[in-house]
Amino acid sequence: MNFVGRNMQQTTTAQPVVWEGDFFQRHRFADFLTEYLRTQSHAPGKSELRPFSLALDAGWGRGKTFFVERWAKDLSTRAPRHPVLLFNAWAADIAADPLVAFMAAFKAKLDEEVQALDLVAATGESVKKMVKGMRRAYLPAGKVLLRGLFEKWSGAGADEFFEALKTGDTDIDQARLEELGEESFKTVGKGLDEFFQKALAEQTDLAKVVAELRSSIEMTLSTLAQQGGVALPMFVFVDELDRCRPPFAIAMLEGIKHLFGVKGVCYVVSTNLAQLAEATRAVYGPGFNGAGYLKRFFDVQCELPAPSPLKFAESLFAASSVMAAAQGRLAHGMPDGGLKDTDWGETAPAAFCWVAEEFGLDFRSQQQMFAVAEASVSALGTQDIHLLWLVILCAIRHANPPFFERLARREMDIEAAWSDLLIVTRPYRRTAYDASSPQGAEAGVTLREVAAQFYANAFKLSKAAARAPTTDFDYPKRWLQHLKKAGPRGDSELRQYFSAVRCAGFISID
């Protein structure tokens, strides 16, 4: 443990460009993982490299993609520089087979490294062997893909086609292909059956073929390290796997484990392990032990540290052009000095944090709620926005749309909504100002009480609120001063928020 900590201090440097926008301050955690994986990629007590894999676990909306993208860029630009492949599994999910896209990306990355370091001559033979090894190792499992290729060749003789793919020799005369293409689809089907019978007969050679494939990749990496000066291991990041179709995701993991467990390559798979475990059950059955199955693929599992609630809220507001445009019109609604029991302060993200905590929303739900609040701000036009009230309504609709509609129709009140939603309101300390204590005195406040006062002034602007003196700075009354009427019945502008949130609530994000 001391060894890792010592190296963290040595290598942790400011990365103002690579880590720009790192609201969650995770660059130090990336430095820690880099040193850990460098160490773990070596066999215990030996200098030789070994294959290693890490599952980076985090729920939806926790910033996995941002983290691995910045980490990958950091590794590829810092000294010593590591070869890095960042593979977006979800973007490749349109392919019939995951390994085809992965093989292409893997080879393209090594080609890029070889050409950048002008090592084509030194690595040419090992790269050529690697390409042939990929074809041969994949052959017994590639029936779906090969069917399409074989049908394109329309009736090529099984022996000729099999040997071409097995050896990597695809320089077949074009005239011969055209001649073969005249044969019928029936002949194609028969040829496929013969072809795969031969492929299965070659299964006994698969272990040797896979070993040769791994050896060729290791030779290429070794040359890059010795003659090109790059550092090993090579880092391969596989992102967005939990968004893929279950069969695709499982095939990807199995293929990488069996074909690409290469010395000098470290895999980092960023995913939601709980969701991925469910995907295995979709493939192997509802009673399948998905969590246990996934442990076969990873040497270690690591949870991405959760951001603080305030940092998460700040990241949502910082990324929103709508909120930025409305910044001068956002009345955050927090008490002066904020809530004393928190470090949130008195800002728009602080108001969002208060509501999210009260309703017990996870980060995914917070993103969904923020999208509704963002759309509502757009719908409300150029008027001032009472953000705390708006977010409260967004949270109620997110939790239970029928309750939201009952509130809008005045069929229930805030107290009933909190009770029926099983929300246990938390009291906070704040500073209260009135005539008897102009310097402020400590008082308690709950979000339910604040919501009730906003709600009471939404439908019928009370005379007391309408003539509240500007010197009354008690909370939340000062936020209710100067509310405008918005309708013939004397409703205040706060009632318009129901309509805006109702329409915005039909917007959803994945």
**Whose CA is closest to 98, among 88, 86, 108?**
88
Handedness of CA 366, 368, 371, 373 (dihedral sign): negative
Q: Say how far apart CA 94 and CA 96 lie, in whole Å.
A: 7
pTM for the structure as a whole? 0.70
**Whose CA is closest to 237, among 40, 95, 59, 33?**
33
Total residues found in the chain within this entry: 510
Residues of the chain with pLDDT under 70: 1-16, 117-207, 209, 434-438, 460-473, 485-490, 510
Q: Which residue has the tokens 């209710």?
A: 480
Give the pLDDT score at 239.
94
Q: Say how far apart CA 132 and CA 163 lie, in whole Å.
A: 12
The answer to whether 302 and 267 are in contact (CB under 8 A) is no
Give the pLDDT score at 299.
93
SS3 251: helix
Give the pLDDT score at 120.
53
Q: Say how far apart CA 86 and CA 444 lie, in whole Å.
A: 50
The answer to whether 397 and 404 are in contact (CB under 8 A) is yes
- Read off the pLDDT of residues 57-103 as tens digits, 9 standing for 90 and up: 998 778 899 999 999 999 998 888 999 999 999 988 877 777 778 88
Q: Say how far apart CA 56 and CA 219 lie, in whole Å.
A: 28
The answer to whether 394 and 372 are in contact (CB under 8 A) is yes
Beta strands in 122-258 (DSSP E): 234-239
SS3 441: strand
Half-sphere exposure in the Cβ direction for 261 (13 Å, CA): 15
Give the pLDDT score at 447.
96
- DSSP collapsed to 3 states, 345-386: CCCHHHHHHHHHHHCCCCHHHHHHHHHHHHHHHHHCCCCCEE
SS3 156: coil
Side chain identity, residue 318: A
Q: Say how far apart CA 29 and CA 302 lie, in whole Å.
A: 11
- Read off the pLDDT of residues 389-416 as tens digits, 9 standing for 90 and up: 999 999 999 999 999 999 999 999 999 9
- Token code pair at residue 56: 């980076």
DSSP element (H, E) containing 443: strand 437-445
Whether the upstream peptide bond of residue 80 has omega within 30° of 0, thus cis, is yes
DSSP element (H, E) containing 416: helix 414-420
